[in-house]
Structure 1
Amino acid sequence: MARTESKMLALGTIAPEFSLLDTVSKKTMNLHTLSGTKGTVIMFICNHCPFVVHVNPEITKMAIEYQKEGIQFIAISSNDVENYPEDAPHFMRIKAKAENYTFPYLYDEDQSVAKKYDAACTPDFFLFNGDLKLVYRGQLDDSRPGNGLSLTGKDLRNAIENLLKGKEIDSDQKPSIGCNIKWKSST
């Protein structure tokens, strides 16, 4: 399995706006109506990547825990569904229900949102504060499929906890590692 690192968008970047189809509700949703009062986690994920499959239980658990505290979670899939049909919107809807996602699972058909966020891999995590300024980007934790480390969400969890407590978030952040986003050919 290929291992691609996130590109680490500059801290302080304002979250780019988007309007995308939510595959569960089948409604178009945008960043400003979805964002949390205290913060927003934007995750680039997909259905088939083994790295995402590995972290799904923890992201579901964290969303349930932190949504009550004003942190919204938003998942986006930007993969090319022509060459990776298992990531198509109707399968995204099935996956969201099977995983008990309590957050929208949006489809970035033209891949423009992934490009605006400089997303590179699945999963790729971005935490924005209440003003939609980037305060954390990188890995969920050190656990990867097959490495034997427990899935804890430690890195993202620490960033969220510090954000909620008004504490400084360490700028020394580790990139996420996962499958590369499946880009459409440019021909």
Structure 2
Amino acid sequence: MARTLSNMLPLGTIAPKFTLFDTVSETHKSLEELKGPKGTLIFFICNHCPFVIHINPELAQIGLDYQAKGISLIGISSNDVENYPQDSPKLMKQKAKEAGYTFPYLYDESQDVAKAYDAACTPDFFLFNTNLQLVYRGQLDDSRPGNDIPLTGQDLRNAMDCLLAGRDVPAHQKPSIGCNIKWKN
């Protein structure tokens, strides 16, 4: 299993706008309509990555915990489905249901959104404030498949708690690690 680090987009970057197909509602959704009143967490995931499969229980719980507090969650898959058919939109909808996602799971067919966010791996997390300025990019926590560290979401939860409390998010942020995004040839 490849270990690709996130690229760590510069803090303060404004979230690139997008409109993508939501595999859950089967409608197109824009960042403008999905952004949260207190913040927006955009993350790049996919169905088959062992790193994403490992964090799915915590990801679903974060959705339940933080959407109610005003932070919108938006999952995006940008993988090449021609070479990785297990990441197709139909199977994305199924995965969202199985994993208990309470947030949109968008399909970035052109891969333009992943490129705009400089996303590199799955999972790759980007937390934006109410002005859609990047305040956190990095890992969920130190847990990885097979390392026996409990899954807590500690790093990401701390960033979201700081955002909600009006405190600065700590500038020291560890990159996420996961499978590389499956780019089209």
Interval containing the TM-score (normalised by the shorter chain): over 0.9
Shift of 1:174: 0.2
Query: What is the percent sequence identity of the aligned residues?
Result: 67
- Structure 1 gaps, min length 5: none
Which residue number in structure 2 is paired with residue 113 of structure 1?
113
Provide the TM-score with structure 2 as the length reference. Answer: 0.99
Shift of 1:100: 1.3
1:184 is paired with a residue whose SS is coil
1:142 is paired with a residue whose SS is coil
Distance 1:129 1:137 in 2: 12
Shift of 1:24: 1.0
For 1:72, give the aligned amino acid: S
Which residue number in structure 2 is paired with residue 29 of structure 1?
29
2:151 is paired with a residue whose SS is coil
Distance 1:76 1:5 in 2: 17
2:20 is paired with a residue whose SS is strand
Distance 1:131 1:63 in 2: 21
For 1:127, give the aligned amino acid: L
Deviations 1:149-178 (A, max 9, x none): 000000000000000001111111000000
Which residue number in structure 2 is paired with residue 148 of structure 1?
148
Distance 1:157 1:25 in 2: 27
Which residue number in structure 2 is paired with residue 166 of structure 1?
166
Provide the TM-score with structure 1 as the length reference. Answer: 0.98
Aligned residues: 185
Distance 1:125 1:56 in 2: 13
Q: Does 1:52 align with 2:58?
A: no
Deviations 1:73-125 (A, max 9, x none): 00000000000000000000000011111000000000000000000000000
